[in-house]
Structure formats: C-alpha cells, structure tokens
Amino acid sequence: MNMRNKVQLIGRLGAEPEVKTFDNGQMARMSIATSDRYRNSKGEQVEDTQWHNVIAWGKTAEIAGKYLRKGQEVAITGKLETRQYTDKEGNTRYSTQVVCDELLMLGKKEA
C-alpha cells in the first residue's frame, strides 16, 4: 500500500459536478466542503469550513456526473496535484486539486 501523496476526504458537494467529454473519456470537476467544529477559548462553538477542488477521470467521472448532486455527502480518496500557470498580469500562480481515484456516495442531500 502506497501512503505517499494520499488524500481522504468526507464532505458535501457545493455544486453539481461539471462533466466534460474528451476523445479519450470524461473528466468531472467538483467542489467539496469539509467542516470541523471546535470550541474556542471563550467556550463558543466554531465551525471551520474548507473547500477542496476535486477532479475525476474515466468511469469515476461518469458515475459522478450521473449520480452526484449538490449537497450530497461523499467520501473520496485520491492524491494532491499542484499546477502552475501565469495569470493575465503575468504573475505565476499555483492551483492545488485532489485527483480522485475512488468515490463513495454516503447519503442524500439534506432537506
């Protein structure tokens, strides 16, 4: 089992998956929110939400596009991938995303 560059997330979809079809298959782009709850020094409950950009390829992308909906809870495993690009002003920017290799649908969206 390879433990290098492995990510596991459980969270809710922020929007419908965006699926694109290419000559060699499909790609799905998703945004997943994960939340942590804790009490601060004043005893108040605080919720910290993080957003994660996720992409999936092939059969996983096809399943995501067909079955996943906004608000649905999912578990994903994959690896982190960072890409570098130049913006319109000529500045170097970095974008990190999770490349999903396994997807598990955990529940329906909340009412």
- C-alpha 61/C-alpha 3 separation (Å) is 23
What pLDDT band is residue 84 in, cutting at 50, 70 and 90? very high
CATH architecture of 7-36+45-105: Beta Barrel (2.40)
* Residue 108 pLDDT > 90: no
CA 13 to CA 71: how far, in whole Å?
Answer: 5
Torsion angle of the four alpha carbons 31, 97, 49, 92, in this order, in degrees rounded to the nearest 10: -110
Largest CA distance in the chain: 56
Name the residue ranges covered by the structural domains of the chain.
7-36+45-105
pLDDT exceeds cutoff 70 at 79: yes
pTM, two decimals, is 0.81
Q: In a 3-state reduction of DSSP, which class is residue 110?
A: coil
